[in-house]
Amino acid sequence: MGEQMSESLEKGLAVLRAEVDYKVKSFFSSCVNCGICAESCLFYTETRDPRYTPIYKTEPLRKIWKSEYSFWGKLSSAIGISSSFTEADLADWEELVYDGCSMCGRCSMVCPVGVDISGVIFKVKQALAAAGFSPEGLVGASQRALEIGSPMGITLTTVQAVIKHVEEDTGLSVPMDVEGAEYMALLSSNEIALYPEYLESLVKIFDHAGVSWTLSSKAFEATNAGLQIGNKAIAGQLVQRVVDGAEALKVKTVISPECGHAYTALRWEGPNYIGKAYPFKVVHILELLDELRAQGRIQTTGMETDRLTFHDPCSIVRRGGIQAQPRNLLEPIAENFVEMTDHGSMNWCCGGGGGVSSNERAEELKLTAFNKKKSQIEELKVDAVVTACSNCRMVMEEGVEVNEMDIPLLGLTELIAEHLAEKRAD
């Protein structure tokens, strides 16, 4: 066992050393330990446990930098003083990084010297994954994603069953493997298993707007468990699966669904994972819907009179820049829309991003972190919360249920579909 742990430790340290690039050196040299990032992290604000401060979660990488790359670290080693690194260190930070960080990026927004703290934390996560220090739930999800095609074990047969129900309910067909379609839509496991109304809404909207689209039987899953666990190799394989599916169908654009980290993995990180540019565009569903709205291809009728607010998913809004689009889409159908005190790029996370929602061990901590979102919702006294991420929706549904809050959680795509005007006859 000792030899095996030593090998694991070496793998983790090798990754940490490889991640000490010029950015990391600059970050740690610039950090003044001001602590401002602490108040930006809901895991710290809701627990007041100093271990959950964002900068503390970067400690394994900082320790490598300090001992092996900083001037004083090199000097200490030269005179025989060195800091040790053990398996226990990795085990301690495994809980902090996977349970107590949703990779929301809010800490990076407030750092006065521009340190991308969440990016550094992800580098630590990569080292932990390489060393075998990852939560069982995420390990299983990544294995199922590779072997079955979905982190939840969803197969094409399951998707086809959902499609059958959607076609029966709408009277419309769901295109599958249509070569030459303009768009290829992806679905997340949550949308297939928990929110099939998302696919039903796509069918209605695309029929209404005259959109040429298809699903792929080879690449229907958007969720990227590799990104969540911190394994770039797995992340790359899952991205390549989507690329292969899109290339086979010769589509011009791939649509990322209402799923935050799936958008990050495919739109921003994907080309880096596979080492080449895509032969197609990637858009989030909200980007496409807002584009169709601006072109006059989406016509809505009626207004929601309930007091509504929008939860900005971190990966889509703060990290992805899709801030105006959901508000553009809500304006024609939400009569009493109100913003949360902190919204847009500074909105608070739901608490379940970055793989936390798939980590059973983090359940209690996740619900504690949800108290921040709970206070935001209660402050507004709204009738419902709209969002555009199935993971956020799932996490918040659990949160409001546990806290006995009578607040519906709505998907924005679904809400738009409910307000579509009747198609005019040609």
- For every residue of 254-300, DSSP letters joined together read EEE-S-HHHHIIIIIIHHHHHTS--SSEEEEHHHHHHHHHHTT---B
Q: 2-133 with 297-418: one CATH topology?
A: no
Q: What is the DSSP letter of 315?
A: I
93: pLDDT confidence band, cut at 50, 70 and 90? Answer: confident
**Cβ within 8 Å of residue 166, ≥6 positions away:** 172, 174, 196, 199, 200, 203
Q: How far is CA 356 from CA 136, 191, 277, 328, in A?
A: 12, 18, 30, 30
Strand partners, 385: 309, 409
DSSP, residue by residue, 76-119? HHHTT------HHHHHHHHHHHHHS-----HHHHH-TT---HHH
pLDDT of residue 79: 53
9: pLDDT confidence band, cut at 50, 70 and 90? Answer: confident
**Cβ within 8 Å of residue 27, ≥6 positions away:** 115, 116, 117, 120
Residue 73 pLDDT greater than 80, yes or no: no
The per-residue pLDDT for range 242-296, each reduced to its tens digit, is: 999 999 999 999 999 999 889 999 999 999 999 999 999 999 999 999 999 999 9
Kindly report the average pLDDT of the chain as a whole number. Answer: 92
Q: Give the residue from 243, 181, 251, 241 showing the smallest Cα distance to 210.
A: 181
pLDDT of residue 71: 54
Residue 345 pLDDT greater than 60, yes or no: yes
Rounded to the nearest 5 degrees, what angle is found at the Cα of 113, between the Cα atoms of 340 and 92? 80
Give the pair of three-digit tokens for residue 188: 């997340």
pLDDT of residue 2: 41
pLDDT of residue 90: 85
pLDDT of residue 216: 98
pLDDT of residue 160: 97
Q: Give the residue from 273, 249, 325, 268 showing the smallest Cα distance to 294.
A: 325
pLDDT of residue 424: 56
CATH no., domain 297-418: 3.40.50
Strand partners, 411: 387
Rounded to the nearest 5 degrees, what angle is found at the Cα of 44, between the Cα atoms of 43 and 50? 130
**Cβ within 8 Å of residue 266, ≥6 positions away:** 186, 222, 224, 239, 242, 254, 256, 282
pLDDT of residue 1: 38
To the nearest whole percent, how much of the chain has pLDDT over 70?
94
Give the Cβ contact number of residue 300 at 10 Å.
17
Chain centroid to CA 45: how far? 21
Q: Could you tell me if 242 and 266 are in contact, meaning their C-beta atoms sit under 8 angstroms apart?
A: yes
CA distance 86 to 13: 10
Q: Could you tell me if 241 and 217 are in contact, meaning their C-beta atoms sit under 8 angstroms apart?
A: no
Q: How far is CA 151 from CA 61, 360, 418, in A?
A: 29, 14, 30
85: pLDDT confidence band, cut at 50, 70 and 90? Answer: confident
Residue 68 pLDDT greater than 60, yes or no: yes
The per-residue pLDDT for range 149-176, each reduced to its tens digit, is: 999 999 999 999 999 999 999 999 999 9
pTM (2 d.p.)? 0.92
**Lowest-confidence pick of 67-71, 94-98, 202-206:** 67-71
pLDDT of residue 313: 97
Residue 14 pLDDT greater than 60, yes or no: yes
pLDDT of residue 174: 98
Residue 81, Cβ density class (10 Å: 0-12 exposed, 13-18 middle, ≥19 buried): exposed
Fold adopted by 2-133: Fumarate Reductase Iron-sulfur Protein; Chain B, domain 2 (1.10.1060)
78: pLDDT confidence band, cut at 50, 70 and 90? Answer: low
Question: Where do the structural domains in the chain lie, given as residue ranges?
Answer: 2-133, 138-292, 297-418
pLDDT of residue 368: 98
pLDDT of residue 76: 53
414: pLDDT confidence band, cut at 50, 70 and 90? Answer: very high
* CATH class of residue range 138-292: mainly alpha
What's the average model confidence in pLDDT over 311-323? 95
The per-residue pLDDT for range 198-252, each reduced to its tens digit, is: 999 999 999 999 999 999 999 999 999 999 999 999 999 999 999 999 999 999 9
Q: Give the residue from 103, 117, 10, 3 showing the smallest Cα distance to 54.
A: 117
